[in-house]
Amino acid sequence: MNTIQRIEHWGDTHHPAWLDILRIALGVLLFLKGVSFIGDTTQLSHMIAGLNFNIWTVGAVHYVAFAHLVGGILIAIGCLTRVAVAFQLPVLLVAVFYANISQGFSFLNSEFWLSVVSLLLLIVFFIIGSGKFSFDEYARVNGPKSIVKKQFKNKGNQLNISLKPFSFSKVLLIVSTNQTIRS
């Protein structure tokens, strides 16, 4: 196993259920933030224009809104969580270190602290993944691997097939052999 696979495995095995509640809350928060950005694009473009991204202002506004809307939904349901978090990280890094820091570190700057907490939670979910109560876990348990294991039985004993996603070469190998496969 390489380092990324070991981190994913550790994250999948050490994931308490209360973190799923935090993941869902973070996803809903990001989605609602995306809705508020779409509702008031002038505020977002004013904030981004202050960062001196003159040519990229329109693109950045659309990226931030799209990343929050789609990424928030994906994080909330736990579908492609690490990918959705990867699209959120640049937005929150800019929000923490460029956009909100200009207003200071005071406790009155609630937008800054919301961005910091969101960034920390995104880093946590990038490491530990989506958890037990997620679409990723549902797809892992009820996905193509379990379907293949249920369909191909040999003399009453279940064949032990370990398939990687989108790797059907082992299925073709089993089917092409002259074994009698009973359902």
Domain of 100, in residue numbers? 3-130
**Which pLDDT score, from 0 to 100, does residue 51 have?**
62
The structural domain count of the chain equals 2
Q: What is the pLDDT of residue 150?
A: 53
Task: Look at residue 11 and tell me whether its pLDDT is greater than 50.
Answer: yes
User: Is 98 in the same domain as 151?
Assistant: no
For residue 179, CA distances in Å to 13, 28, 152, 153, 174 come to: 36, 51, 11, 11, 8
18-39 vs 57-77: helix crossing angle, rounded to 10:
150
Q: What angle do CA 30, 33, 34 make, to 5 degrees?
A: 90
pTM of the model: 0.69
Query: Please, which pLDDT band fits residue 96 given cuts at 50, 70 and 90?
Result: confident
40 falls within a domain:
yes
- Using DSSP, state whether 105 is helix, strand or coil: coil
Question: Of 88 and 60, which is predicted with more confidence?
Answer: 88
Percent of the chain with pLDDT over 70: 67
Q: Are residues 82 and 149 in the same domain?
A: no
56 has pLDDT over 60: yes
Residue 138 lies in a domain: no
The DSSP code sequence of 125-172 is: HHHH-S-SSSHHHHHHHHSHHHHHHHH-EETTEEP---PPTT--HHHH
- Taking the CA atoms of the chain, what radius of gyration do you get in angstroms? 22
Q: Is the pLDDT of residue 22 over 90?
A: yes
